[in-house]
Structure 1
C-alpha cells in the first residue's frame, strides 16, 4: 500500500528546514516569479537551487507553484523560468494557466504537472478532463466532501491532493475577483488583498434586518482528528496551507500531522487532544472547521468576530484587574483582547513578580492594557515557539544512516566504502604510515570518522575489512571522511538534476481544432422573466438563459418556441452533485438551443463536440496560448475580465479563438458554498435547513465604505456576490469593432423590465449618454499587475 504524502508549505529557508526536519514527504513553495503567494518570502534562484538540493538529500520532493495567470509578454520569461526549474531537479510544477501547461507539455514532456486548486476542479468530469490532458495530479477544490474526494480518487483512479489544515477561502479558488475588481490586486496573479477578512453588514433591503461582523471570514481548516477517514478516501497527498506563516507554525503543524499519519499506519494511539490544543495555540480563527468534508457549510465555519489569530481562552478580567488563569502563562507570551493585543512584560502572583504562572493561579499582567470584564486569550506561547524553533536551528539535525567498511593497513591507502540505501560509495585517501611512536588504534580512527555533525549523516554499522595499527594525520582522516560524505551528497543531488532540453519553439499546435460557429454579434444574458421579456420585446436575437437562480421562472421550452430567437443555456460556474441533472436539462433541449455559455470544465468535456459552446469569463483565459488551447473545445469565449484594453486587443489579434466582450453587467466577484443569508438569518448552521430566507428579501453586503454588493443564491444554495456597480463599456463598442472584436454581451442580474430595456437599447445602438457615476469600466484601463 502506497503511503499518503504529507505536503508542507514553505515561504522561507527556515520554514523549509522546519518542514523537512519535522517529517514532511514533500514541500510546495514559490520561486521569485509567477506564484500565487506573491507576498510570501519566496525564493530567489540561488535559494531555490539550494532548497531543492537540501530537500533531495533527505528524499523530500519539491513542488514549485507557478500558479498564476501569465500575461502574453511574460510567457517567454515563464518558459525560461520553468527551464531553470527543470534543470535544478524540481519534482513537479503546480499550474493554473492552461496556456503555460501546454508550453510545458511540449518543451518538457517528462516534467510532472499538478493542476492547481486555482483551476477550480470540483467534480469528477473536470478532474478526468485535466488528467487526460496530462496533469498527473489534481489539487481539488476545498469545497468537496470526503465522499466526492473518494469518488475522484478511488472510483476514477485519479491522483488527488487535498487541503487538510490552514486557511480557507470563502470563494472557490480561481473564481474570486473581489480583490481584483475592488482594488486591482488579483488573486489570480498572487496578489489577493483578502477583502474577505474585512467587516461587512448583511442587510435585507426589504425589511431592514441586518447583521454585522466579519461575515466572509472562514475559520481555518483542521482535520487532525479525521486523518483515518481522510487517508481511507484514497487521496494521495495531504496538504497544509501556510506559505505566509512563520517557521515555528510550519514545524508544529507538520510535526502533529506526521504523528497522526504514523499513528494510522503503525496502529498506535496518540494524544489527539494535546496535539489539537497545540494546533489551536499556533493559529486559529475562533476555533477550526473541517471545511466542507463532512457537510458543514453554515455559520459554524465562520469567524464572524475575529479574522485574525484568536489564540486560546486565558481568562476573564475581574474588578480588581486580576485573572484566574485557564492556561499557563509566561513572560513574552502574546495576549489578545478583542482586536488588540500585547506581549506579557510582567506577571504578578501573590504580590511577587514571577516569570511564569500556572493554570488556576490568580495573577495580574503587565502592561495593563485591559479593563474589568475583558476576556483575554493567549495568542502566542513563547515556550512552544522556542521549542519549535529549536527543531530547525541545526539544519542537519535529522541524521541519515551510513554503513561503513574500512581498510586501514600500513603501506596502503586508507579506503572507505560507504553504503547508503542500496548504493555503495568508495573513496581512497593517503597511505597509512608505520607508527614511529603511538600507533592509531581502531577507537582513535573511529573517533575521527564519526565527526559528522555538520553533515546529514551518522555512522550505523561499521566493519573493518582490514586493519593494522599505523599512523595517519587527523587532517588526512578528516579529508577522506569529507570526500565520502560529499560523494554521497552529490549523488543524491545530481540524480534529480536534468539536462536542458534543446527545444526552444513554444508555438502552440492545436491537435484537433474545432470547426467554429459564428459568435452572436449581440447577446443578452437574462436571469428572470422580466429581463427575458425585455430582451424579446427589444428584438434581441441571441439570448442566454441563466435559469439556475432561486426564484427564476424561466422555462427553456417556452423560449425555444419564440420565432427568430437563438437560445443559449448559461450554466453555473460551479456544478457538483447536480451535474447529471444539468447535463440532462441540456440533453433535453439540445436540439432546440443554439449553444451553451459556460466556464465549467465538466460541461465543456461533455458537450464540446456536439454543440456550440461559448466560454465564460471565469475560465480565466489570459494569453494567446490558453486561448488557442481552448480553441479545440470552444467556438469563442469571453476572455479574462482582468485584461486591460490593450492586452485584450493584442490577444484577439493572436488567437484563433473568437473573443466576446461583456459591455454591461455586474461581475460575479465570488461564488461560495457558504451562504451568508441562510447562515445569519436562517437559524440553522446547515444550508439544507436554512428556511430559505433568500426568498424573503433583497440582500446586500455593505462594506466599511458604504458600498453595497448584491447577494444572490442559486437553486443549489450557493451564494453569489456581485460587484457594487455594473460594468459599462457601451461607449467603447465602436473601438472594439475597429480592433476586429465583433461579439458583445450584456449581463442582466437584478435589472427590472424598464431598466433592462434601457440598457439593451443603448447597447444595440452602441451609445451611452447617461451619468457614468454609478458604473465602472472595470479593468479596461488599468488591468492587473
Structure 2
C-alpha cells in the first residue's frame, strides 16, 4: 500500500519549519504573486528558493499555489514566475486558471500541475476530463462524501487530494462571487473578504417569519477520528487548510495527523510504536488551537445539517473554562496560566493575574476556584480559553531547532596509518565519499575510535545524523580533530548539494505564448441569448420574438415544459454543480437533444459528456479570465461566457485575441454562491433530525438580509442545493454603445425571480438599447471597476 501523503500549509518560513519538523510529507506555499491567500506572509523569490531546498533536504515535496485567475496583461509575468518555479525545482503547481494550465503544459510538459479546489471538480466525469487534459492530481471539492471520493480515486484511478482539517467555505470553491460583487475583493483573485462569516437574517417574505445568526458560517473540518476510513478511500493526499494560521497552529495540527496516520499504518503492520496515540487528547489540543463552536466532518458522511454550522460565533470559540459566579470567581473546567487568552461573548482579554485562595499564582488547575485580572467579565458570563500559552510554547519548541528532525545515514570509515582518512555513505541511491589527509603515526596519544565517533556525530546544525558508524579498517594513528570535523562537514555538504541540485531544471528555449487563429469578427449583436426560469418570463420574452432562449430547467421554481418553447434556437441551462444526479440530468438532456440547439453549462462533467453531441455555451462560472482560457476550451466549448469580474478594458484586452466566440451578460442577478448546505431547512426545518428534508423551501419566498439591509434572494434547485443571488441585477443596457466597441460576439440576459412585467420592462429596454427607469436597484457589476 502506497502511504498517504500528509500535506501541510505554510504561509511563512516559520510555518514551513513547523510543518516539516512535525512530520509533513509535503508542503504547499504561495508566492508573493498569483496566490489565493494574498494576505498571508507568503514567499518572495529568495525565500522560495530556501523553502524548496529545505523541504528537499527532508524528502518533503513542495507545491506552489498559483491558484488565482490571471488577467490578460498578467500572462507574461505569470509565465516568467512559473519558469522561475520550474527552474528551482518546485515539485508541482496548484492552479485554477485554465489559461495558465494551457501554457504550462505547452512550455513545461514535465511540470506537474494539480487542479485547485477552485476548479470545482465534484463529479467523476469532470475529474476524468482534467486528468486527460494533463492534470496529475485533482484537489476535489470539499462537498464530496467518502463514497464519492473512493469512486473517483479507486474506480477511476484519478490521483486525488482532499481537505481533512481547517476552515470550510459554505459555497463551492471557485463558484463564489459574493465577496467580489458586494465588496470588490475577489475570492478568485485571493482576496476574499469572507462575507460568509457575517451575520444575516433569513426571512420568509410570504409570512414574514425570520431567523438571525451567522447563517453562512460553517465550523472547521476535523477528521482526526476518521483517518482509517479516509485512507481506505484511496485518496492520495490529506490536506490541512491554514496558510493564514500561525506556526504553532501548523505544528499542532500536523503533529496530530502525523500520529493518526502512523497509528493506522502501524496497526496494519502489527507494530506497537504508536499504541499510546490518544485521539481524544489530540482532538482536545486541536480544539484549543482553533475551533468555531467545535468541529464537523463536513460532507464526508452526509451530515450537512445545522451540526456543521457555527451559527452563534464565527471566530475562534476557544474551550470553555467556567461560568462566573456571584463572587466574580469561577470553578475551572480547564487548566489556566497567566498570559492565556480569554473570551466572553464578543469580548476578550489576556490573563494578567490568577488569584487563588487570595494569592497570586502563575497557574491554576481543573477544580480550582479563581478570580482573574483584568476583571472585565460579569456574573453569569461563560469564559472560554482561546489561547493556551503553555501549549503554544511547547509547540514552538518542536521547530525552534529547524534541524531537530534528522535523516539517518550509515557511515563507513577507513582510518589507517599512512593512508588518507576516508568517509563513505549511501543516500538516495547514490554513494558519497570524501578523502582527507593521510593518517599519521601517533607520536604521543593516538586518536581512538570513541573520539572519532564522537566528533563525527556532531551533526546538530544539519538535517542528518549517523545512525551507524562502522570502521572498514582501523589502526591507531593521529589526525587533528579539526580535520575529522572538516571531513564530516564536507561529506554532508556533498549530500546537501546533490539534494538541492538534483531537482533543478533549465529551460533551453523561450516561452511560447502563441494562440490559434482568431475567430471571425462579428458586427451584429442584436440577437441575445435569454435565460428564463418561469413561464411568466418565457411569455414576456417570446413577445419579443427572441431567437435564442435557454431554460434554467433544474431550478425548483422552473415550471416550463421545454417541448412547448417556441424559438429558433432552444438551449437547456444546467446548474454549475451536478453530483449524484449526474446521470439523471444527462438522461434529461439526451431525451431532449432533438428539441434543443445546445446546453449552457459550466459543469466540466457535462461538457465532457456532450461536447461531441451538441452545441456547448460555456457559462460564466467557467471563470474565463484571459484568451488562453479560451484556447484551453476551444475544442470543448462553442461559445464562452466571459467572467463577470472583468472590467471594460480587460474585456477589450481579452477580445482582441479571442479564439472562440464570446458572450457578455448585460442583464441578470448574479449567482453569488451555490452550496450543498440548505439554510432554509437548517433554520426553519426539522428540529430533531438534521438529515430529513422538511421541504420548507416550498413554503415561501426567502431572502438573506445583511447588516445594511440588502436582501439576497435564496433559491433552491431541484436537487436541494441552495443558490444565493445578488440583491441587485447587473444592467449594462445603458452601456450598449460602449459594449459594441469591445468586439463581443453575443449578449445575454438572465431572468431569475423577475415577474412578467419586470421581464417585459427589461426586454423593451434591450430592444430600445436604453434604460430610462430607476437605476438604483441595478448595478453595473465590475464593468467599470473590475477586481484587483
Give the equivalent residue in structure 2 for 1:339.
346
Cα distance in 2, alignment partners of residues 396 and 519 from structure 1:
64
Equivalent of 2:645 in 637, 642, 645:
642
Q: Which position in structure 1 is the counterpart of 2:452?
A: 445
Q: Which residues of 2 match residues 26-45 of structure 1 at below 5 A?
A: 26-45=26-45
- State the match for 2:624 in structure 1: 621
Distance 2:126 2:688 in 1: 29
Aligned partners of 1:441, 1:605: CA distance in 2, in Å?
Answer: 72
Tell me, yes or no, if structure 1 residue 223 matches structure 2 residue 223: yes
Pairwise CA distance, 1:143: 0.4
| Equivalence for 1:266 | 266
Contact 1:682 1:692 (C-alpha < 8 Å) held by counterparts: yes
Please report how far the alpha carbon of residue 650 of structure 1 lies from its aligned counterpart in structure 2 after TM superposition: 1.8
- Name 1:353's counterpart in structure 2: 360
Q: CA deviation at 1:136?
A: 0.8
Deviation at 1:528, TM superposition (A): 1.0
Question: What is the distance in 2 between the residues matched to 1:504 and 1:616?
Answer: 30
For the pair 1:524 / 2:527, whether they are aligned, the reply is no
- Counterpart selection for 1:411 from 409, 418, 422: 418
- Looking at structure 2, the residues matched to 549 and 686 of structure 1 have their Cα atoms a distance apart, in angstroms, of 25
Q: For the residues of structure 2 that align with 1:94 and 1:179, how far apart are their CA atoms?
A: 22
Equivalent-residue separation in structure 1 for 2:117 and 2:373 (angstroms):
45
In the alignment, structure 1 residue 294 sits paired with structure 2 residue 297: no
Alignment of 1:373-388 (within 5 A): 373-388=380-395
CA distance in 1, matches of 2:557, 2:531: 16
In the superposition, the TM-score normalised over structure 2's length comes to: 0.97
From 428, 431, 440, the counterpart of 1:433: 440
What is the rounded CA distance, in whole Å, between the counterparts of 1:448 and 1:146 in structure 2?
52
Distance 1:687 1:347 in 2: 42
How far has the Cα of 1:735 moved from its partner? 2.2
Matches within 5 A, 1:564-643: 564-643=567-646
1:509 to partner: Cα distance: 4.9
> By how many angstroms is 1:128 displaced?
0.4
Q: What SS does the corresponding residue of 2:121 show, helix, strand or coil?
A: coil
Q: Is the 8 A contact 2:303 2:691 kept in 1?
A: no
Contact 2:525/2:747 (8 A) holds in 1: no
For structure 1, the residue ranges without an aligned partner over 5 or more in a row are none
User: Counterparts of 1:109 and 1:286 in 2: how far apart (Å)?
Assistant: 45
The reply to whether residue 758 of structure 1 matches residue 761 of structure 2 is: yes
How far is 1:504 from its partner? 2.1
Instruction: Give the Å deviation of 1:88.
Output: 0.9
Is 1:399 the counterpart of 2:409? The answer is no
Matched with 1:741 is: 744
Q: In the TM superposition, what whole-angstrom CA distance separates every residue of 1:289-337 from its partner, at most 9, and x where no partner exists?
A: 1110100111111101111111111111111111011111111111111
CA contact (8 A) 1:107 1:501 kept: no
SS at match of 1:689: coil
Quote how far apart the aligned CAs of 1:17 are: 0.8
Shift of 1:377: 0.8
1:194 matched to 2:194: yes
Deviation at 1:685, TM superposition (A): 7.4
Unmatched 5+ residue regions in structure 2?
none
CA shift at 1:756, angstroms?
A: 0.5
Q: Give the Cα separation in 1 of the matches to 2:688 and 2:600.
A: 33
Is contact 2:533–2:557 with CA below 8 Å preserved after alignment? no
Q: Does 1:550 align with 2:556?
A: yes
Question: Residues 528 and 547 of structure 1 are in contact (CA less than 8 Å); yes or no, is this contact kept in structure 2?
Answer: no
Residue of structure 1 in register with 2:693 after alignment = 690
1:243-285 C-alpha deviation (Å, 9 max, x unpaired) = 1111111111111111111111111543111111111111100
SS of 1:48's equivalent in the other structure is helix
- Counterpart Cα distance in 2 of 1:96 and 1:162: 16
Query: Relative to structure 1, is the Cα distance of residues 58 and 685 closer, same or farther in structure 2, using a 3 angstrom cutoff?
Result: farther
Aligned-pair CA distance for 1:218: 0.5
In structure 2, C-alpha distance between the alignment counterparts of 1:572 and 1:644, rounded to whole Å: 25
Tell me, in whole angstroms, the C-alpha distance in 1 between the residues paired with 2:708 and 2:76: 41
More divergent stretch after superposition (405-414 vs 380-389): 405-414
Tell me the distance in 2 between the aligned counterparts of 1:765 and 1:475: 90
Q: Is the 8 A contact 2:410 2:469 kept in 1?
A: yes
Partner of 1:534: 540
Q: Relative to 1, partners in 2 of residues 1:513 and 1:145: Cα closer, same or farther, differing over 3 Å?
A: farther
1:680-724 CA deviation, whole Å, 9 max, x = no partner?
A: 011347675232111222111111111111111111111111111
Runs (4+) of structure 1 moved beyond 3 Å?
684-688
5 Å matches for 1:76-95?
76-95=76-95
Instruction: Point out the more displaced range, 429-438 or 565-574.
Output: 429-438
Deviation of 1:759 after TM superposition, in Å, equals 0.5
Counterpart of 2:673?
Answer: 670
Report the counterpart of residue 134 of structure 2 in structure 1: 134
Report what 2:336 is aligned to: 329
SS of equivalent to 2:779? coil
| Contact 1:551 1:695 (8 Å CA) reproduced | no
CA 1:729–1:567: 2 relative to 1, 3 Å? same
Equivalent pair of 2:30/2:64 in contact (CA under 8 Å): yes
Question: Which residue in 2 is equivalent to 1:125?
Answer: 125
CA contact 2:102–2:631 (8 Å) conserved in 1: no
CA distance in 2: counterparts of 1:612 and 1:685, whole angstroms: 46
Whether the aligned pair in 2 keeps the contact of 1:522 and 1:764 (CA below 8 Å) is: no
RMSD of aligned Cα (Å): 1.7
Contact 1:298 1:684 survives alignment (8 Å) = no
Aligned length: 779
| Contact kept in structure 1, 2:527 and 2:547, CA below 8 Å | no
**Change beyond 3 A, Cα 1:79–1:742:** closer
CA positional deviation for 1:513: 11
| TM-score, reference length from structure 1 | 0.97
1:421, CA displacement in angstroms? 4.8
Q: Is the CA contact 2:441–2:477 (under 8 Å) kept in the aligned structure 1?
A: yes
Shift of residue 107, structure 1, vs aligned partner: 0.8
Contact 1:144-1:293 at 8 Å conserved across structures: yes
